[in-house]
Amino acid sequence: MSKLNRIEISGFKSISPEHPLSLDLHDVTVILGANGSGKSNIISFFKMLNFMMSGSFQKYVETNGGSQGFLFYGSRYTQAIHATLSFRDGQNNLDEYRVGLSYAQGDHLVITSEQTTVQYADRPVPSVKNLPVNFKESVLAGRTDNATLRVLRKILANCKVYQFHDSSMTAPMRNASYLEIDNYLQSEADNLAAFLFRIKRQYPNDYDRIVSYIRLVVPQFKDFVLEPGANDKILLKWKDDSASDYLFLPHQFSDGSMRFIALATLLLQPRKLMPRMIIIDEPELGLHPYAITQLAEMIKDASHNAQIIVATQSPLLVDEFEVSDIVVVESHKESDKNYTTANHLNQDALSKWLEDYSVSELWEKNVIGGRPL
């Protein structure tokens, strides 16, 4: 199975055309950075890519402020965005996808180039294909005539970005969801009840495991009571560990509990349902320290079935992972403009420091850069 092993981006949001950002990606990649460092902009690139592969690129640009919000310091300074995504499989064969986006009058962002490269390990000459230009939407997203293009499109379409920040009393994840919307967990867990109901019916062992992790973090929780309503909707009802028959409603979970339930459902879902790549923005938000430890365990477990990218500023979470899996993102200033850089940590280079300090302590001491603001 091919995995994304490198991505290069320039001209996108806080990533300067003069200082392209490169990331080497592992089974788990932890992007560590303070507020305003640009780590969420890296996550948003994957979100944009997902919309491109679904044929909804223009709608995504329009609903997110137009082209000016995507170009580094706007169109007066940056005219184009470029990105290269490199994939390798177990035989060291290389697939690459290159895409170019440009500003167009009327505050539009158009796709001006798409190129795929296939380099087999046992062949000296790569196969390069320049796709025809559609401008408004990705041509790769609609190609079905070529096996390599189909595989690349499927990989990119299965890069799912998740953010469970909104767990307020009116958050969609607390609302009833339609039973039919259960093919995958949505990006803000809007269909959480329906997706859990599917897992309970079709994959009972995985469902029991999700419940067991939730019990570790929410001790009074016993189980969900997932009962479809007459309107083909389902609500996330639950019961506690008392002898009472009383059923609790989703608004009776705390914010942190709701976020952890969504994270457990995402990371412990059945292998057959799991996306090829899971990208999560600040999953530690509102979680108890013990819950963060469980979160790290779930991330490691999920990485056996999917690549995981996590953007975080949690010292507790970052200390749960290998040094080589951590990328420190920070903001630099050149002339009058700030731009984002990424530094991959090196175990050997930090070995002396790590004898006495954890990675999070080195981060707080500004030894590895990216010091919290």
Tokens at 153, concatenated: 């499109």
Q: Where do we find the tokens 């495991």?
A: 209
Residue 272 lies in a domain: no
Residue 289 lies in a domain: no
Tokens at 237, concatenated: 């009802």
pLDDT tens digits for range 227-268: 998 889 999 999 999 989 899 999 999 999 999 999 999 999
Q: What is the pTM of this model?
A: 0.93
Give the distance from CA 154 to its chain's centroid: 16
Could you tell me the pLDDT band of residue 373, with boundaries at 50, 70 and 90? very low
> By residue range, what is the domain housing residue 123?
1-25+41-158+323-342
pLDDT of residue 307: 95
DSSP assignment of 287-341:
--HHHHHHHHHHHHHHTTTSEEEEEE--HHHHTTS-GGGEEEEEEEEETTEEEEE
Quick one: DSSP state of residue 88?
Answer: E
The chain-wide mean pLDDT, for the chain, equals 93
With 90 as the cut, is the pLDDT of residue 325 above it? yes
Q: How many domains in the chain?
A: 1
With 90 as the cut, is the pLDDT of residue 283 above it? yes
Pick from 304, 326, 302: which is nearest to 315 by CA?
A: 326
* Overall average pLDDT of the 61-84 stretch: 94
Residue 352 lies in a domain: no
Q: Is 57 helix (H, G, I), strand (E, B) or coil?
A: helix
* Overall average pLDDT of the 156-164 stretch: 90
pLDDT tens digits for range 304-314: 999 999 999 99
Residue 11 lies in a domain: yes
pLDDT of residue 48: 94
Residue 212 lies in a domain: no
Q: Is 184 or 371 the better-scoring residue by pLDDT?
A: 184
With 70 as the cut, is the pLDDT of residue 361 above it? yes
Question: In CATH, what number is assigned to the domain containing residue 126?
Answer: 3.40.50
pLDDT of residue 298: 98
Residue 135 lies in a domain: yes
Give the distance from CA 79 to its chain's centroid: 27
Residue 56 lies in a domain: yes
Residue 123 lies in a domain: yes
